[in-house]
Amino acid sequence: QYNIALFGAGRLGQAVASSAVFADHGFTIAAVFDVDPAKVGAQIGRNHVRPYSELESVLREHSVTIAVLAVPATAAQRVASDVIDAGIRIIFNYSEALIQAPAEVTVHTSNPAAELLHALYFSLA
């Protein structure tokens, strides 16, 4: 069992939190964070959105090992740096940003729009 923290409670974050894919493979979304006061407290999947300011204590409390970033590209590096400082060593980045991280941190970037364009390009070429 691995616990995930999801950052971003917008449309992409809601889709990630509502997906059964993680649970089917032994991953639990243990916390969802957002900086938007209008989203904090809302329920997404099985979680209530927490304020970003609780990041460090919640990650520790829930033994989170993986961070999923569903945030705008402009916020991705800041969130990545904060979760790395909190001890996270695996990050899934769903933004367009290229994350800078120490060698001991694994960052997997997957942008759904870019992957769709890539697939279309090679399918139609």
List Cα–Cα distances, 54 to 2, 19, 38, 45, 93, in angstroms: 20, 24, 16, 19, 20
Mean pLDDT within 86-109: 95
What is the mean pLDDT of the segment spanning 46-59?
A: 96
Q: Is the pLDDT of residue 88 over 80?
A: yes
pTM assigned to the model: 0.89
Contact 87, 59 (CB under 8 A): yes
Outline where 1-72 has alpha helix (H).
11-18, 21-24, 55-61
Mean pLDDT, residues 5-24 taken together:
90
- Both tokens assigned to 76: 């991705």
Mean pLDDT of the chain: 92
* Predicted local confidence at residue 92, as pLDDT: 96
**In terms of DSSP bridges, do strands 47-51 and 43-44 run parallel, antiparallel, or are they unpaired?**
antiparallel
Three-state DSSP state, 35: coil
Decide: 112 and 93 in contact? Cβ < 8 Å.
no
